[in-house]
Amino acid sequence: MRVLFIGGTGNLSYECSLRALSDGMELYHLNRGNRPERVPAGVVSLNADIDDETSVKAALRGLRFNAMVQFIAYKPERVAADLRLFRDRTEQYVFLSTASAYRKPPVHHVITEATPLENPYWQYSRDKIACERLLEAERAASGFPYTVVRPSHTYGVGWIPTPFGSSDFTIARRMLDGKQIVVHGDGQSLWTLTHARDFAVGLVGLLGNPAAIGEAVQITGDEALTWDAIHRDIAAALGVEPRIVHVTSDFIAGVDPELAGPFLGDKTWSALFDCSKLKRLVPAFRTTVPFHRGIRESVEWYLADAGRQVVDARLDATVEKVLAAWRRATG
C-alpha cells in the first residue's frame, strides 16, 4: 500500500510514520526537507513546498497513492489547492481537522462525531470547519474520497501539554524555578490527552479502509484528567511541587485577547469523547500510554539536553502579566 504524508516530521506525523512503516506500508513524505533527523529509515522523501504547486507537481510526477494524509492544512484555500493537486492521484484523502471545531459552549458532556461544528471564539477552529465543509461539498459534487480525522490534545516526546501551549519548556521551567503557574477556572474541568503513539494506531488503521471514506472520525484516548491533575503529573515528572494559581478563563482572555481562542474556544470546557466509531473501524485502537507515563518520557527527553529546554519569553511574560493582574483584582 503506497501512502503519502504531507508533512511527516511533526508531533503527530512522525509517530504515524513509524506506525505506517511497521505495518509494511510504502511511505512517502512531501515536505521542504528541513528536518532530516525526523525522517525514519524507509521513508521516500519528496522535497517541495506544498504552497508551490509547480514544484509539488514536479515532485509527484508519475506517482499515485492508495491514501494520503494532509497534516498541515489549516485554511480552506489549502484544501482547495490540494483538490487541484491530488484529485487524480489518491484513492483516499485524509484531512486532519480538530476536536476544537465542536460546538462551544458544549451542551452535552460527551462529544461524538455527530456533535455540531460551531466555535464562535476561535478562528483556527472556524477555518478547520470551513475545510471540512469544502470536502463535503466536493464529495457531493464529484464523489471525492475524503476522510476527516478530528484529534483533540495529542502530545508525544518533546511535548509538555499545558493550556498555554505544548511545544516548549516555558511552564516546566517555571515549575522547576518554583514560580507560580496559572491553571484556568478551578482546575477541575476534565480534559482528554492522547499520546501520539496511540493516535498513530487509529490514523494508520483508517488508511485504505473503505468504511472510512466520506466519514469524520475522532481519535482520542480514553483517559480524562482534571487540569489540576495534569499539572501535578507534569510537576511529579519534574520532581517538584506545582504552585498553582486558579484564574478564570474570561480574566485570562481579558489580559491577553490572543488567548481567547485557545481558552474560551477550547480548553475551558470539559472534553470527553465517545470513540466507538473509531473502534469499530480500527479494532486495534486503544489507550496504551497513560499520561503519567507519557509525560515522564517527554520530561526525560527535555532534561537530557539543556539545549532542548527552550523558554518562550513572550509566553513567560504573559503568565507573569496574568498573575499580576489577578493579584490586583483579587487583593
pLDDT at position 317, please?
A: 98
pLDDT of 64-77, one tens digit each? 999 999 999 999 99
- The arithmetic mean of pLDDT across residues 225-239, rounded, is 98
- The arithmetic mean of pLDDT across residues 10-30, rounded, is 96
Domain 2-154+194-219: give its CATH architecture.
3-Layer(aba) Sandwich (3.40)
Inform me whether the pLDDT recorded for 284 exceeds 90. yes
**Beta strand extents in 92-132 (DSSP E only):** 93-96, 110-111
Report domain extents, the chain.
2-154+194-219, 157-193+223-270+290-330
Banded pLDDT at 57 (limits 50, 70, 90): very high
Written as nine digits, the cell of 8 is 511527516
pLDDT of 190-199, one tens digit each? 999 999 999 9
Inform me whether the pLDDT recorded for 36 exceeds 90. no
pLDDT at position 19, please?
A: 98
Please report, rounded to a whole number, the percentage of residues in the chain having pLDDT higher than 70.
100
3-state secondary structure of 93: strand
pTM summary value = 0.96
Residues in the chain: 331
Distance CA(47)–CA(31), nearest Å, equals 5
pLDDT at position 241, please?
A: 98
According to CATH, the topology of domain 157-193+223-270+290-330 is: UDP-galactose 4-epimerase; domain 1 (3.90.25)
Long-range pairs, 321-328, Cβ under 8 A, ≥24: 321/255, 321/256, 322/182, 322/247, 322/251, 322/252, 322/255, 322/256, 323/180, 323/182, 323/245, 323/247, 325/251, 325/255, 326/182, 326/245, 326/247, 326/251
Please report, rounded to a whole number, the percentage of residues in the chain having pLDDT higher than 90.
95
pLDDT at position 38, please?
A: 86
Averaged pLDDT score across all residues of the chain: 96
pLDDT at position 40, please?
A: 92
Inform me whether the pLDDT recorded for 11 exceeds 90. no
Which residue, among 125, 161, 156, has the nearest Cα to 234 in the 3D structure? 161
pLDDT of 114-163, one tens digit each? 999 999 999 999 999 999 999 999 999 999 999 999 999 999 998 999 99
- The arithmetic mean of pLDDT across residues 303-317, rounded, is 97
Distance CA(243)–CA(26), nearest Å, equals 48
Distance CA(8)–CA(28), nearest Å, equals 9
Amino acid letter for position 289: V
Q: Write the CA distances from 25 to 15, 28, 44, 49, 323, integer angstroms.
A: 14, 9, 11, 24, 50
Inform me whether the pLDDT recorded for 33 exceeds 90. no
